Amino acid sequence: MTDTASTDLTGRSALVTGGSRGIGYAIALELARRGAAVVITGRKPEPLDEAAAALRDAVPGSVVTAVAGNTGDPEHRTDAVAAAVANGGIDILVNNTGINPTAGPLMDADLGAVRKTFDTNVVAALGYVQEAYRAGMKDTGGAVVNIASIAGLRPTGLIAAYGASKAALIHLTEELAWQLGPSIRVNAVAPGVVKTKFADVLLAAGEDVVGQTYPMNRVGTPEDIAATVAFLVSDAASWITGETIRVDGGKLATGGM
């Protein structure tokens, strides 16, 4: 049985990228509920500020800071990490920001869009880890969770470039876990289809129709992913690193996508 105290995050400082909506917002909310001070990032200042206000309303007394900017901008990454450090250090980093500007056959893919996908989904994630490491995680330790996808574990045919970038992120997770242990743990979460605006293209046939292809007979929710992330960054997961946990309602257990 897991000790409740081992999942408490009081006194810890977290940075969640792409935290204005969807999975990122749900993660930030769960971390705040468990006592962490949270910094969220997003490209657009107004919705990001609204999300931060909503988080503070949902968890009275919580410390939530919004830092707007582009995740591909090194200066923005520095500012976001600095905001977390101002809350007492940086103990938790969740690389949630992801884009999927291209879909369909790779032979038709615009290479500029593919390059942008890898820059945002992989290179920027590494950039955040480097920033957090230099800003104090090197000395105090911490936990990193990268939000990957089951599209990085099996080919989809539809979101191929995105899937390839998430496969790279999964491998990056393992490399970082090896290099940064024992004081810094690095894991990934690979969601199936989750009911968010980001997944609209995958839900085109209808949520119920898509859900029927899952053993759990539904698609995921942002809260499903948030609960797993909160576990991975807590002391309850102190001997888990280098892992990619599928949170996919059993989808890959069916043997297909």
Q: Which residue, among 51, 100, 44, 99, has the nearest Cα to 70 in the 3D structure? A: 44
Cis bond leading into 155, ω under 30°? no
> In this structure, what token pair is assigned to residue 188?
């990934």
User: Which of 25, 133, 162, 214 is an active site residue?
Assistant: 162
> In this structure, what token pair is assigned to residue 28?
């930030």
Q: Residue 209 phi/psi, 5° resolution?
A: -65, -45
Q: How far is CA 8 from the centre of its chain?
A: 19
Percent of the chain past pLDDT 70, that is, above it, reads 95
pLDDT class of 198 with cuts at 50, 70, 90: low
23-32, 84-93, 216-225: range with lowest mean pLDDT: 216-225
Domains of the chain: 4-248 (3.40.50.720)
Q: Which residue, among 231, 137, 228, has the nearest Cα to 176 in the 3D structure? A: 137
| Residues paired with residue 13 on neighbouring β-strands, in sequence order | 37
Mark residue 242 as left, alpha or beta (left: phi above 0; alpha: psi -120 to 50; beta: remaining): left
Q: Which residue, among 153, 177, 182, 180, has the nearest Cα to 165 in the 3D structure? A: 153
Whether 162 is a known active-site residue: answer yes
What integer pLDDT is reported at residue 195 of this predicted model? 83
Using an 8 Å Cβ cutoff, are 234 and 9 in contact? yes
pLDDT class of 210 with cuts at 50, 70, 90: confident
What integer pLDDT is reported at residue 201 of this predicted model? 66
**10-31 pLDDT per residue, tens:** 999 999 999 999 999 999 999 9
